């Protein structure tokens, strides 16, 4: 009986997914036919009834009645330009061109400020924290983009406008317009933009890096959607129930105050705001695409996602996910509303903490800089495996079911590999790719104008293999390029650094990005990903030059 019901649910989901992904082979519809049949539900009416539409009205192209697509790239660009045209003496709304996607679609953000212009210098002079909101890095997760258009309207002329007395806001509603157009998670060349924030191989991730490098936002939000049926239904015979999933930066070497302020100063407020609107929330979690693996993991601890990399830039950095992947336009208004509620809460929390956020940034920058030459740097960390029950929904009657499972918690990091923190790193004169990428990340790299004798340690390769980068979902989409996995031993070695080679001091606020990029024996390192060609092209510098 139970197995039969499982099979029926799987079949229904498979048929529904097929209906969504396969173009119908029907003859052309005559232009006079106005009625489009609603797609079948991906789950029972009882499950759908758990997610009623909120009593709000939002005005984005994608949410218009009878509109059967999400806001298109052209519609979004028009809306952003229209908003920018409403600048007034009270409020600057500046359109920020950030280059173009791989297929040539403009990447556009809006800056909202009380300053006379939207330049990085003006915002730095404002004495207020800056909040950066990013949507739709994954093209098949549209609610974040719709919601950020609503948020932009609410700041421009609505309930959030007065927050500009205390904060500046930058909104990049659609970070992956090519993926949005093609309804794909990845960018046009197959790279997952949200695993590209350390390597910066895509123009889309480079655009975000430039934005963060120039404006140094104190708070960053990354808006996504998550899979609610698909592999979860197959593994657990259950539908995912939470309107919102939240997680702040959880990677090694972060100043501990960042996590404390993220939690007490932002997450608690978001949970309350969501609950006040009848919306449910959990920590962010996901599961691998391997159906035999029933483990559920919080968002990863690797220094590759926007959430973690912006944390390593000493920002309070949040991932907000709504239920959305694989359900088309179903519950769209509720998904958008969930993002609007959570993100509005972040903005209010940032406004309330104004000066404290500026102080947090100064302290985190100083704290990281002060660690150069001291203590241990974590090279590789992992989540902690625990057991818990997670609430899901019965796919038939829509009731809550408590599913016992293995839960990998990213809140408590386990140190897998650490080594003494150097004073800095040396890079060879021809390590241009590494130097360029570090600078794009905002790391200060000095070119030596004269030769210098350095106390150094070199990595000696003891083993090597190749394989795909992994995250908690499984293999990372990266257009098929395998990374080099090396094991190394450290060997002290005096180094005569020639003029024209480079030095990356760890006495700087973004030092932890240099550690993540330059220690070679991790899957995200520049060496593993061929941004550094040889272990001879870099060294650990163990005393101040």
Q: Which of residues 361 and 469 has its CB atom nearest to Zn ion in the complex? A: 469
Strand partners of residue 540: 425, 457
Tell the smallest beta-carbon distance from residue 283 to Zn ion (Å).
Answer: 15
Q: Which of residues 141 and 365 has its CB atom nearest to Zn ion in the complex? A: 141
Please say whether the beta carbons of 61 and 80 come within 8 A. no
Q: Which of residues 174 and 224 has its CB atom nearest to Zn ion in the complex? A: 224
Cα-Cα-Cα-Cα dihedral sign, residues 378, 382, 387, 391: positive
Contacts (Cβ under 8 Å, ≥6 apart) of 175: 107, 134, 135, 136, 137, 193, 204, 207, 208
Q: Which of residues 472 and 539 has its CB atom nearest to Zn ion in the complex? A: 472
User: Buried b vs exposed e over 338-369: b needs ≥16 C-beta within 10 Å?
Assistant: bbbbbbbbbbbbbbebbeebeebbeebbebbe
Tell the smallest beta-carbon distance from residue 398 to Zn ion (Å).
Answer: 25
Tell the smallest beta-carbon distance from residue 338 to Zn ion (Å).
Answer: 15
Please say whether the beta carbons of 514 and 506 come within 8 A. yes
Tell the smallest beta-carbon distance from residue 223 to Zn ion (Å).
Answer: 9
Tell the smallest beta-carbon distance from residue 176 to Zn ion (Å).
Answer: 10
Q: Which of residues 138 and 216 has its CB atom nearest to Zn ion in the complex? A: 138
Q: How far apart are CA 480 and CA 467, in angstroms?
A: 10
Residues contacting Zn ion: total by CB under 5 A: 3
Residues 128-167 interacting with Zn ion (rule: CB under 5 A): 138, 141
Q: How far apart are CA 437 and CA 538, in angstroms?
A: 15
Q: Which of residues 160 and 207 has its CB atom nearest to Zn ion in the complex? A: 207
Tell the smallest beta-carbon distance from residue 192 to Zn ion (Å).
Answer: 9
Tell the smallest beta-carbon distance from residue 138 to Zn ion (Å).
Answer: 4
Q: Which of residues 138 and 323 has its CB atom nearest to Zn ion in the complex? A: 138
Tell the smallest beta-carbon distance from residue 456 to Zn ion (Å).
Answer: 41
Q: Which of 195, 224, 231, 307 binds Zn ion (CB under 5 A)?
A: 224
Three-state DSSP at 540 gives strand
Q: Which of residues 54 and 142 has its CB atom nearest to Zn ion in the complex? A: 142
The string of DSSP codes covering 383-429 is: EEEEEEEEEEE-TTT--EEEEEEEEEEEEEEEEEEEEE--SEEEE-T
Cα-Cα-Cα-Cα dihedral sign, residues 158, 162, 163, 167: positive
Tell the smallest beta-carbon distance from residue 253 to Zn ion (Å).
Answer: 24
Site string for Zn ion, 167-206 (x = CB under 5 A): ----------------------------------------
Q: How far apart are CA 113 and CA 132, in angstroms?
A: 12
> For residue 281, which of 290, 265, 289, 270 has the smallest C-alpha distance?
270
Residues 32-61 interacting with Zn ion (rule: CB under 5 A): none
Q: Of the ranges 166-174, 218-226, 328-336, 534-542, which one interacts with Zn ion (CB under 5 A)?
A: 218-226
Please say whether the beta carbons of 127 and 164 come within 8 A. no
Q: Which of residues 335 and 540 has its CB atom nearest to Zn ion in the complex? A: 335
Structure tokens at 276: 């006040």
Report H helices in 126-202: 143-157, 177-182
Q: Of the ranges 222-230, 358-366, 386-394, 514-522, which one interacts with Zn ion (CB under 5 A)?
A: 222-230
Q: How far apart are CA 229 and CA 152, in angstroms?
A: 31
Please say whether the beta carbons of 537 and 520 come within 8 A. no
Q: Label the pairing between strands 424-427 and 446-447.
A: unpaired
Tell the smallest beta-carbon distance from residue 476 to Zn ion (Å).
Answer: 13
Q: Of the ranges 146-154, 195-203, 217-225, 237-245, which one interacts with Zn ion (CB under 5 A)?
A: 217-225
Residues 479-498 interacting with Zn ion (rule: CB under 5 A): none
Tell the smallest beta-carbon distance from residue 141 to Zn ion (Å).
Answer: 5
Q: Which of residues 135 and 395 has its CB atom nearest to Zn ion in the complex? A: 135
Q: What are phi and psi of 374, to 5 degrees?
A: -125, 145
Tell the smallest beta-carbon distance from residue 260 to Zn ion (Å).
Answer: 26
Q: Which of residues 138 and 313 has its CB atom nearest to Zn ion in the complex? A: 138
> For residue 466, which of 450, 455, 451, 482 has the smallest C-alpha distance?
482
Q: Which of residues 92 and 297 has its CB atom nearest to Zn ion in the complex? A: 297
Q: How far apart are CA 211 and CA 213, in angstroms?
A: 6
Where do contacts with Zn ion occur on this chain (CB under 5 A)? Answer: 138, 141, 224
């Amino acid at each position: 009986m139970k197995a039969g019901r499982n099979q029926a649910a799987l079949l229904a989901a498979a048929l529904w997914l097929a209906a969504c992904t396969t173009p119908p082979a029907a003859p052309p519809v005559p232009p006079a036919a106005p009625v489009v049949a609603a797609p079948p539900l991906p789950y029972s009416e009882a499950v759908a009834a758990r997610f009623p539409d909120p009593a709000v009205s939002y005005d984005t192209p994608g949410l218009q009645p009878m509109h059967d697509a999400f806001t298109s790239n052209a519609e979004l660009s028009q809306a952003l330009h229209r908003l920018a045209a409403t600048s007034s003496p009270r409020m600057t709304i500046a359109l920020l061109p950030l280059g173009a996607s791989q297929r040539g679609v403009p990447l556009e953000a809006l800056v909202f400020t009380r300053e006379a212009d939207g330049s990085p210098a003006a915002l730095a002079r404002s004495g207020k924290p800056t909040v950066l909101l990013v949507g739709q890095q994954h093209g098949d997760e549209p609610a974040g983009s719709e919601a950020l258009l609503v948020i932009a309207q609410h700041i421009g002329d609505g309930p959030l406008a007065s927050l500009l007395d205390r904060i500046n806001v930058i909104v990049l509603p659609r970070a992956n317009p090519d993926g949005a157009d093609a309804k794909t998670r990845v960018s046009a060349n197959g790279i997952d933009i949200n695993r590209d924030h350390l390597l910066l191989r895509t123009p889309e991730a480079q655009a975000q890096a430039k934005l963060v490098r120039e404006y140094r936002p104190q708070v960053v939000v990354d808006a996504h959607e998550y899979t609610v049926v698909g592999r979860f239904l197959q593994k657990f015979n259950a539908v995912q129930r939470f309107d919102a999933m939240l997680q702040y930066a959880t990677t090694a070497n972060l100043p501990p105050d960042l996590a404390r302020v993220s939690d007490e100063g932002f997450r608690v407020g978001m949970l309350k705001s969501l609950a006040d609107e009848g919306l449910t929330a959990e920590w962010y979690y996901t599961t691998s695409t391997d159906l035999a693996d029933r483990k559920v993991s919080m968002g990863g601890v690797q220094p590759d996602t926007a959430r973690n990399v912006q944390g390593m830039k000493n920002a309070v950095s949040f991932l907000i996910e709504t239920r959305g992947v694989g359900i088309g336009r179903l519950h769209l208004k509720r998904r958008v509303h969930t993002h609007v509620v959570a993100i509005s809460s972040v903005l209010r929390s940032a406004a309330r903490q104004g000066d404290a956020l500026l102080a947090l940034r100064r302290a985190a920058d100083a704290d990281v800089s002060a660690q150069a030459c001291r203590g241990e740097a974590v090279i590789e960390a992992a989540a902690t495996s625990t057991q818990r029950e997670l609430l899901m929904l019965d796919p038939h009657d829509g009731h809550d079911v408590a599913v016992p499972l293995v839960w990998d918690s990213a809140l408590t990091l386990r140190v897998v590999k650490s080594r003494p923190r150097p004073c800095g790193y040396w890079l060879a004169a021809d390590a241009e790719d590494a130097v360029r990428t570090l600078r794009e990340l905002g790391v200060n790299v000095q070119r030596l104008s004269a030769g210098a004798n350095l106390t150094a340690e070199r990595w000696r390769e003891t083993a090597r293999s190749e394989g795909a980068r992994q995250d908690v979902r499984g293999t990372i989409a990266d257009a098929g390029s395998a990374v080099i996995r090396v094991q190394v031993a450290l060997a002290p070695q005096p180094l005569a650094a020639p003029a024209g080679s480079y030095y990356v001091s760890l006495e700087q606020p973004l030092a932890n990005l240099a550690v993540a990029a330059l220690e070679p024996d991790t899957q995200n390192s520049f060496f593993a990903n061929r941004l550094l060609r040889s272990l001879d092209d870099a060294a650990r510098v163990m005393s101040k030059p």
